[in-house]
Structure 1
Amino acid sequence: MKIPYPLLAVILAALNAIGPFSIDTYLPAFPAIESGLVTTTLSVQQSLTAYMLPFSIMMLWHGALSDALGRRRVILVGMSCYLVASLLCAFAQNIEMLWLGRALQGLSAGSGVIVGRAIVRDLLDGPAAQRLMSHVALVFAIAPGVAPIIGGALAQAWGWRAIFALLALMAAALMVLVWTQLPETLPQDKRQSLHPASLLKAYSSVLGDHRFVLLSLAMASLFGGFFLYVMSAPVFLMQHLHLDATQFGWLFVPLVLGMMGGSMLSARLAGRLSPIATVKLGYTIAAAATLLNLVLSAAMPDTLSMRIPQLALYTLGMSAAMPTLTLHALDMFPARRGLAASCQGAIQTLVMAFAAGVIAPLVWGTTLHLALAGAASLLLSTLACWWSMRS
């Protein structure tokens, strides 16, 4: 069965969207969760870490399993587990039960994210792969914008538990879509062994390649430059910008528009501009946005007009560079793209988990501290990318 290109892009984007929906949808409900479970702000914040640590660890395995068992099977099992985990969160009676449900969500959510990247490279090469990756990112970019808006509305209308009921319904819908519409893209003769010795050799090859690790760290830090604001959104928006739970769209919609613009730019430049030139352009835009953010955060008051536009510009530059960086990392290991995607995702998510659990609480006290942390993240990304490409 051959799947039409637009349907393939939508399915892959929807599988990727499970990640941001798992994080962003319940951010506006933090105060309601804190009150409902009789806990603290920090304890609710740590539910992000409870999700992201297992997410990053299990990412190491999703790709390897899909290399051996096929792409469809791993996605279907992952979404089944995610559905059960979401229901556990919806019925949580204390913060510990919520942590457990979030951890189980983290263990399973990455199946769609990681295996989806491998599917792109199963089907396409060169500029065509860059276009598909960019189009997937374009559709996927909508998720972080609509997720907190939907979450805020659900929490206000039916309570915070309705958010996790929505996530369970999303998992069920994806299972049906993958089962009925997505063909297997990895032929039997290209499957890889799950023998421990073979896996150890493969993981050692991928994680022992300093170019691959540096490039993965570069992507993680580039993403981290705006992800810190996502993780700090309840404080950034409610305390510093004095918005309520239904107004998270003032941050997330501009971020989404920036990501959509960057993805469209990347797709348009595919085959017209060299990959390295595309990456340089993306970093240049992100650097200009970061410098503007530092100046405005230091000199201007905390208002929407002084804090949001430059973040959208940053996501435009980030999204212009990310598809090319992702494909370049996967192409280092053409016979083990699933495993390489797993390692890439694990490194990126470990960095994000550290940012969510450690860095964000340290810097969200002032908008200037957030801007400085974002600038440091971009600087680390630039150095890692330069070092990897130079090697």
Structure 2
Amino acid sequence: MKPELIKTALILGLLSCVGPFAIDMYLPAMPAMAEDYGVPVAASQYTLVSFFIAFGVCQLFYGPAADMFGRKPPLYFGLLLFIAASIGCALAPTIEWLIGLRFVQGVGAAAVMSIPRAIIRDRYTGTEATRLMTTVMLVISISPMLAPLVGSALIVPFGWPSIFYGVAIATLLSLVLTIFALPETLPAEERVPFRLSAMVDAFRTLFRDPYFMGLTLIGGMGMASFFAFISTASFLYMDHYGLSATQFSLAFALNALGFFASSQFAATLCERLGAVTVVRRAVTGFALSASLMLCLFALGFDSFALLVSLLLLGNTCLGLVVPTSMVLSLDNHGPIAGTAAALGGTLQMMLGAVAIGIVSALFDGTPMVLVAGIAGCALLALTLVVFTLREAPEPVTS
């Protein structure tokens, strides 16, 4: 890979890690957080729901803003807001304040979800874009491995509020990189002046494009399954299976290993088989592994090793689905790439928030609700593949 491509991937990957770190880093603290505030488990899970709602909805504003003002000014605003909200979270006196400040944190984090996708689309398309996207995913994939471990390391000596100070410092470093090392990829002459009618037309175009919507929702179902997992993982692993905070962090990292490994082969497989075929086959594998997991746990095979193994297999498939579907969905919408990336990110985050809400409401302390939720997401993704990609041309293999 070209050095410039690697540099861009590292910067965009670090930016894109801001949101995942704000989620994964404090997962080991959720039981302690609920205990400190004297609230039930569901109340601490609402801090995730509020973050995801803001994280999803606010991308709708950052996308058009990035098309109008360039890519970097909205990034500056989002990162600064995120830093301020993170400090507020550390000082939150009640769970209600924490839920509200997590919402504000999500507003800031939304900037680093959609805009990096638009930056990739500004400079690359096709296989090269897929290669860059998967390298960004490589950096992002490290966050579920490291974030809970870093969170555990901070919680033990300093308590759970230190997590938010830590993520604020990491975001400040990302802001410095954005200012000094990330070039502006949307020249002034190519920016879209603000017109409400133009923004409405762009959203109308995207909503009426079944290919864009289908691919966005396919990736969204994969992400929703992971969000359902993270909302229950700490309680399931630590309470049901008896893991310590550090053991939970290591087990959580293992779940990301399959995604991390397979995403690095996505571009190569797309060159050989074609992106459409990669998505078809990977979603099929995800659906098969999730269905097998549901059947085994429904029959009473409640095993930690079995759960981790099948989650690893499903995430291996998702490592091919998520970056490839992102690139495919944006390929035909270069002039409105910021808006398209924002709408795609919003829809996927809202699916994640719905998954968290449903699984959290039904969670009974056993794996069954989580397993059923993941299987539901996988089967919906497979259905979407059938209807979205059934008429897509088969690529010529090399």
TM-score range, shorter chain: over 0.9
Query: For residues 171-186 of structure 1, what are the structure 2 equivalents within 5 Å?
Result: 171-186=171-186
Equivalent residue number for residue 75 of structure 1: 75
The question of whether the paired residues in 2 share the 8 Å contact of 1:300 and 1:306 is answered with no
Query: For residues 306-325 of structure 1, what are the structure 2 equivalents within 5 Å?
Result: 306-325=306-325
Query: For residues 56-67 of structure 1, what are the structure 2 equivalents within 5 Å?
Result: 56-67=56-67
Residue 356 of structure 2 corresponds to residue 332 of structure 1: no
Q: Distance in 2 between matches of 1:261 and 1:281?
A: 17
Residue 285 of structure 2 corresponds to residue 285 of structure 1: yes
Secondary structure of 2:244's aligned partner: coil
Q: Distance in 2 between matches of 1:359 and 1:214?
A: 24
Deviation at residue 20 of structure 1 after TM alignment? 1.2
Residue 41 of structure 2 corresponds to residue 45 of structure 1: no
Is 38-47 or 158-167 further displaced after alignment?
Answer: 38-47
- Report Cα offsets for 1:275-310 as digits up to 9, x if no partner: 111112212331332133224323454333121011
Query: For residues 104-253 of structure 1, what are the structure 2 equivalents within 5 Å?
Result: 104-253=104-253
The question of whether the paired residues in 1 share the 8 Å contact of 2:285 and 2:317 is answered with yes
Equivalent residue number for residue 27 of structure 1: 27
- Report Cα offsets for 1:231-262 as digits up to 9, x if no partner: 11122112221112222234322222111112
Q: Distance in 2 between matches of 1:46 and 1:29?
A: 14
Equivalent residue number for residue 94 of structure 2: 94
Deviation at residue 137 of structure 1 after TM alignment? 0.7
Percent identity between the two aligned chains: 32
Deviation at residue 217 of structure 1 after TM alignment? 1.7
The question of whether the paired residues in 2 share the 8 Å contact of 1:16 and 1:116 is answered with yes
Q: 1:290 to 1:219 in 2, by over 3 A?
A: same
TM-score by length of 2: 0.93
Is 36-45 or 146-155 further displaced after alignment?
Answer: 36-45
The question of whether the paired residues in 1 share the 8 Å contact of 2:59 and 2:111 is answered with yes
Q: List 4+ stretches of structure 1 deviating above 4 A.
A: none
Q: Distance in 1 between matches of 2:356 and 2:161?
A: 22
Residue 274 of structure 2 corresponds to residue 274 of structure 1: yes
Is 37-46 or 140-149 further displaced after alignment?
Answer: 37-46
- Report Cα offsets for 1:359-383 as digits up to 9, x if no partner: 3331454223322221111111111
The question of whether the paired residues in 2 share the 8 Å contact of 1:232 and 1:361 is answered with no
User: How many residues were matched structurally?
Assistant: 390
Q: Distance in 1 between matches of 2:300 and 2:11?
A: 43
Q: Distance in 2 between matches of 1:356 and 1:260?
A: 23
The question of whether the paired residues in 1 share the 8 Å contact of 2:8 and 2:182 is answered with yes
Q: 1:3 to 1:250 in 2, by over 3 A?
A: closer
The question of whether the paired residues in 2 share the 8 Å contact of 1:25 and 1:163 is answered with yes
Secondary structure of 2:247's aligned partner: coil
The question of whether the paired residues in 2 share the 8 Å contact of 1:3 and 1:182 is answered with no
Letter in 2 for 1:306: L
Q: Distance in 1 between matches of 2:67 and 2:23?
A: 27
Letter in 1 for 2:336: R
Deviation at residue 72 of structure 1 after TM alignment? 1.3
TM-score by length of 1: 0.95
Deviation at residue 38 of structure 1 after TM alignment? 2.9
The question of whether the paired residues in 2 share the 8 Å contact of 1:17 and 1:140 is answered with yes
